[in-house]
Amino acid sequence: MIAVALSGGRDSLLALALLKEAGRRAIGVHGRFLPDAPGRMPHGELARELAARCAALGVAFHAVDLRREFADLVVAPFIRAYAGGRTPSPCCLCNAALKFGLLLDRAGAFGATRLATGHYARLAHGPDGPALARGADAGKDQSYFLSLVPRDRLARAEFPLAGWSKARVLDELAARGLPPPLPGESQEVCFVPGDDYHAFLAAGEVPLPGPGPILLREAPGREREVGRHKGLWRHTEGQRRGLGVAHAEPLYVLAKDTGRNALIVGPAARARCAGVTASRLNLLAPPETWPEAVLAKCRSRQDPAPARAALAGDALDIAFAEPCALPAPGQIAALYDANGRVLAGGVIDAVRLAD
């Protein structure tokens, strides 16, 4: 039996409908990750709505309370990362630790051995095990956000929307008489109200670093102070707006020097990335099978770009063929082959500027 992780949105609901229509034995499971809050549908109401959709499809529904685990495994690392000068990717951690981790495990108590989600990604099984690849809808592909999910978990995963386009989903649900309980798209980070990171972090209990200098990098090894920042956690690499510095040309965040509590800025010509180093690796294909030339994606809105990659112990070094826009330490680096297969994922530790 297969469990379908239902968020309340359109994609997971259609995934359940498609599996049911294909004759699969399925159940709906909803992982409750968040407490009730203003502006968010109360969980009791959402659970009732999801149960009604499952009943209409003739499948059982189960809700699983994972609020404490979500707070420990996703929210707390998010806050610690910002406090340490990094820019995290909580959705990637959630997919690995919660959805295809604890939620998949809990679904086993209801008789499920597999878990399906509404992600736009492809999954095939080859001689090296499960192969994760880009979905058919290039504009909505979510393989990047799944690149930290281990192979043994992907072996028990299914993505019914692999060949679908996002534009079709609402019409298909309407044709089946299945309006999603949550009609809008989910916000970028589900636990940050209104996507206001600054207010969310400032209201927390973790101490955050205070003001410090903004240093203009005029040349390698030569910097001068041009302003003051209000906390490194308020900024990320590649940022242009909101620096509060008057200059003859736009300035971009090049790096955050946590040792000096300094924000390093420079003109657009310097805000380019030559490569990154990543750790906490998730190898999805044996490294000896990787092509010499790979494609690397280091930001969620970046298209995979030509690069070379090499393993050095537990670290992965990626060198781009051409300089690209700056990613940030804490973000995810994902490697692909030319056919869109994900070779590896990891957390960026360091970014090399293309000086």
Report, as residue numbers or ranges, the catalytic residues: 94, 190
Q: At what angle do helices 43-57 and 10-21 cross, to 10 degrees?
A: 20
Q: Kindly give, in sequence order, each residue whose CB lies less than 8 Å from that of residue 237, ignoring residues fewer than 6 positions away.
A: 87, 253, 254, 255, 256, 326, 327, 328, 329, 351
| Residue type at 273 in one-letter notation | C
> Which residues, listed in sequence order, are joined to residue 116 by a DSSP beta bridge?
4, 158
108: left (phi over 0), alpha (psi -120 to 50) or beta: alpha
Which has the closest alpha carbon to 132: 316, 309, 282?
282
CA–CA dist 184, 11 (Å, integer): 11
CA–CA dist 267, 55 (Å, integer): 58
CA–CA dist 173, 170 (Å, integer): 5
